Amino acid sequence: MRFTHDFWVLAYRQMALPAPALLTPEEYLEFEVKSQQKFELYDGYLIAMAGASDAHLSIQTNLIVALAGKFKARNRNCRPFASDARVHVDSSRYFYPDVTVFCSPTIEDAQHSKKNPDVVIEILSDLTASFDKNEKAAAYRQMQSLKQLVLIDSRERAATIYIRNTEGAWVETQHGAETKQLRIADENISLSDIYESAL
């Protein structure tokens, strides 16, 4: 389950416990090396990566297969990575996007966190939707390398796409069940392919 900063503050106030110590990025990365579970870091707070539903996993797999096939067919040097790829978003935030696309050689820090994604895709669920649409989306859009942010809903056929325009501003578009295909990483991916076996 993922918890935001506000949750932690409220929970510790209700239990009359001292606030948890915030982790530095160095402490977080050291903790990650020793942990058997993946955690994200948001402004000093650890966020446990929750287990994914079948719908979430189907959408993730469908996206990776579809994108990889499109890239290969057009001989593009782009690669989709699954959620084991940790992204160094900024000095206090490390996330594990559900799908990350790189169209140039990956740039990594000393701990193998990737720093230059072209496209990030997050798959929304009941537990993650608020955090993904708000805090995480805002953080991702600060990344200089990022050209597109895609939020795919696992509960219904719906998506939100942010594209950075030539002036550097982000343009948001909403897509519903009537949408036939989404333009992701400069490839057309049908909604039917994305949601196959998911809904």
Q: Using CB atoms within 10 Å of the CB of residue 7, give its burial: 0 to 12 exposed, 13 to 18 middle, 19+ buried.
A: middle
Please give the pLDDT value at position 51: 82
- Rounded CA separation 120/113 (Å): 14
Got the DSSP string for 85-122? --EEEETTEEE--SEEEESS---B-TT--B---SEEEE
Please give the pLDDT value at position 5: 46
Contacts 24+ apart (CB under 8 A), 139-143: 139/42, 139/89, 139/90, 139/93, 139/95, 140/89, 140/95, 141/170, 142/89, 142/90, 143/89, 143/90, 143/117
Please give the pLDDT value at position 20: 60
Please give the pLDDT value at position 15: 38
- pLDDT, tens only, 17-34: 444 668 999 999 999 999
Assign a CATH topology to domain 54-194. Answer: tt1808, chain A (3.90.1570)
For the entire predicted model, the pTM comes to 0.89
- Rounded CA separation 67/77 (Å): 12
Please give the pLDDT value at position 14: 40
Taking 50 as the pLDDT cut, the residues of the chain under it are 1-19
List the domain boundaries for the chain: 5-48, 54-194
